[in-house]
Amino acid sequence: MTQTNARLSVVNQDTLVKRQFGHRARLALSPAEVVKTDDQAHAARTLWNLLHAWWQMMPKEKRTLGHADAAIRQARQDIGFLAVLPAQAAQAVLKTYVQAWKNCWDGRADAPNFKGRFRAVMSVDIPQGRDLNIVRVHRRWGMASIPKVGRVRFRWTKDLPVGKHAGAENRITGARLVKDALGWHIAFRVQTLEVKPEPHQGPDIGIDVGVTVPLALSDGETYEHSEWLTGKEKAKLLHLEQRAAQRKQYRKPGEPTSRRLHHTYDQIAGLRAKAKRRALDWQHQTTTAIARTYGTVVVEALTLTNMVKSARGTVEEPGKNVTQKSGLNRSISGEAWGRTVTMLAYKTARHGGTLVKVPAPGTSRRCSACGHTTPGSRESQAVFACKNPDCGWSGNADYNAARNILHLYRMGHTLTPAAGRAVVRRAKRVKPATARQAGISQPHPGEHFKCSRSSTPSRAATTRSGLAKQRLSGSQR
């Protein structure tokens, strides 16, 4: 028995919490292995497209898991290149596809559609964790088995429950291979049983998404970062973008994109991915530090449109560094706030703290010293100077806003008790699953296909479904 298990066994079972999370690591594949994995991903995408065509073509009563499974088995026999995809991964495609429809029926997502060769993210599922045989071989490297590819190395950046650390409660339940601009990655699904954290005794803190600083805290601390790309990298990105624009300009209408242009696009995507990865790293470090230090973290319930507006400023007081905040920087910072909140939500929960959201309006205009909102107090984007004659407080505008946010929480203006996971997006007209189960608006089984947001199949879809009919109908004959 390992040390961890020994420690857990003496702890009361009520104080243990099951935790499921993902961990993504970079794979080191040889060129031949990259080709094999690419082929698997293309086969998985093709299978999805065939399945979608089959689903749309089938009469409603025949759209069952059993029939779909039979069709997939037949297709894997009939179409040679589909066989490169392991059977388990093919099953996972079906499972994902059915889940996509369920998400659509529950109003969480649009109807599933065909996946394009260049737009869709390339991915392959490895649904069973025991197939992976993960071993740590070096301080920085681990090895895993990928079905039909072989043993591959991956970067070891987190201690995973493998080998003697694995058990019924602490284990890797599966993985997924995902390709982005920086190459193939493996995302592990990890399940652990941990001791429930003690309630965090740290202080309360308000956080504002700053205009002049990325994160301003109500105790006066700020979290800043440098530019995501160095001067040299930015110059290269600009050069590549100009070159891509030029090549695109000289392409005749209807001509396919040249290899050179594709290469330039790949280089651009690589640099952007690098910038995004640096931003993500900074966010992880910052949010971890905050979750460790503070007991209650209060944030504004901010919408994205508000934030872009605040960067741009108003006509009377234009924003600072507007050009710098547009483009790449903004596209990163735009996603960043939502992700920061998500990270804070699960990280505070892990450390025994809580994340609280308060309503946004007025936090940047109210004086945090006297509580008055007087016109003209916001002297510039950076400076706040109270115009109340009895007060006259002045200081950093972001610090002021952070203090207001904390004040709103202390006054009890809590908007949402933000729990450890993101709130499920749901279309307004769709009733929640509980209401449907209660028979309030039980759809006819056949009605399932008519997802409220699905559109009529396009011409491409119709022709492809004809193709799929020929290919997949073998199972029905």
Q: Rule CB under 5 A: which residues touch Zn ion? A: 367, 369-370, 386, 388, 391, 393
Tokens 């956080």, residue located: 207
Is residue 41 a contact partner of residue 179, using CB atoms and an 8 Å limit?
yes
Q: What tokens were used for 108?
A: 């969480």
Q: Which residues contact 97 (CB under 8 A, 6 or more apart)?
A: 48, 51, 52, 55, 68, 112
Residue 377 beta carbon to Zn ion: minimum distance, rounded to whole angstroms: 8
If the CB atoms of residues 256 and 389 are measured against Zn ion, the closer one turns out to be 389
What 3-state DSSP class applies to 154? Answer: strand
Residue 402 beta carbon to Zn ion: minimum distance, rounded to whole angstroms: 16
Residue 395 beta carbon to Zn ion: minimum distance, rounded to whole angstroms: 10
Residue 277 beta carbon to Zn ion: minimum distance, rounded to whole angstroms: 42
If the CB atoms of residues 292 and 372 are measured against Zn ion, the closer one turns out to be 372
If the CB atoms of residues 359 and 395 are measured against Zn ion, the closer one turns out to be 395
Helices (H) and strands (E) in the chain, counts: 12, 15
Beta bridge partners of 296: 204, 354
Is residue 388 a contact partner of residue 366, using CB atoms and an 8 Å limit?
no
If the CB atoms of residues 220 and 392 are measured against Zn ion, the closer one turns out to be 392
Beta bridge partners of 23: 188
If the CB atoms of residues 222 and 388 are measured against Zn ion, the closer one turns out to be 388
If the CB atoms of residues 288 and 380 are measured against Zn ion, the closer one turns out to be 380
Beta bridge partners of 180: 183
Residue 387 beta carbon to Zn ion: minimum distance, rounded to whole angstroms: 8
Residue 382 beta carbon to Zn ion: minimum distance, rounded to whole angstroms: 17
Q: Where are the alpha helices (DSSP H) in 124-180?
A: none
Is residue 120 a contact partner of residue 74, using CB atoms and an 8 Å limit?
no
If the CB atoms of residues 128 and 380 are measured against Zn ion, the closer one turns out to be 380
Question: CA separation (Å) from 385 to 218, 300, 372, 373, 466?
Answer: 17, 22, 12, 11, 69
What are all long-range contacts of 334-339, with beta carbons under 8 Å and residues at least 24 apart? 334/304, 334/307, 334/308, 336/214, 336/279, 336/283, 337/209, 337/302, 337/304, 337/307, 338/304, 339/280, 339/283
Residue 205 beta carbon to Zn ion: minimum distance, rounded to whole angstroms: 21
What 3-state DSSP class applies to 290? Answer: helix
If the CB atoms of residues 96 and 373 are measured against Zn ion, the closer one turns out to be 373
Residue 371 beta carbon to Zn ion: minimum distance, rounded to whole angstroms: 7
If the CB atoms of residues 141 and 393 are measured against Zn ion, the closer one turns out to be 393
The three state secondary structure string of 60-78 is HHHCCHHHHHHHHHHHHHH
Is residue 66 a contact partner of residue 102, using CB atoms and an 8 Å limit?
no
Residue 177 beta carbon to Zn ion: minimum distance, rounded to whole angstroms: 56
Ramachandran angles phi, psi of 191, nearest 5°: -130, 125
